[in-house]
Amino acid sequence: MTDKTTYIGLVQAMVNDPPQSAEAVKAQLGIVVTPVSKDRKLRDEGAGETPADLVLEKVSLSYMPTGAPNVLVLTIPNDVAPPVDQLIDAFPRLKLTEVPRGKSLNEETVLSRPEAWGTLSFGMAESDRDKLRSVMFKFQKPD
């Protein structure tokens, strides 16, 4: 059984079946996400605490024009973010997939690995490379 009282444990609990709808986000994370419209992209956003009192600065679930889920992003506040070494221990087989271009301290170094449903990625902000800043679940495009 995974420990949902840590950020790493929360992701471990979600990795086999990540939420792909606003209803599933509420059921799994206890956070309500609501529709926002920006640049004609379909997205639900929210923020808050999980039932285990883990704060998520932002939860964003974007959709393809067809309505199929595209990407779920969890943003962790920097002051409570876990160290990268915990992440690497918990999620083997991670590969470096993105590096910052050096234009902003908000850019992230990204480590990723394939999953049955798509790609699991972890971002570390340039401003604090030793801490996990975001978790991304990029879903496969439906056939």
Count: domains in the chain: 1
Residue 11 belongs to a domain: yes
Average pLDDT of the chain is 91
Instruction: Give the pLDDT confidence of 47-94 residue by residue, as tens digits.
Output: 999 998 999 999 999 998 888 889 999 999 999 999 999 999 999 999
Which residues have a Cβ under 8 Å from the Cβ of 82 and sit 6 or more positions away? 6, 7, 8, 76, 131, 132
Residue 76 belongs to a domain: yes
Residue 51 belongs to a domain: yes
Greatest alpha-carbon pair distance for the chain in Å reads 41
> What domain range includes position 82?
7-139
Residue 40 belongs to a domain: yes
Q: Are residues 52 and 7 in contact, defined by beta-carbon separation less than 8 angstroms?
A: no
Q: Are residues 57 and 7 in contact, defined by beta-carbon separation less than 8 angstroms?
A: no
Residue 2 belongs to a domain: no
Residue 1 belongs to a domain: no
Write down the pLDDT at residue 37.
72
Residue 124 belongs to a domain: yes
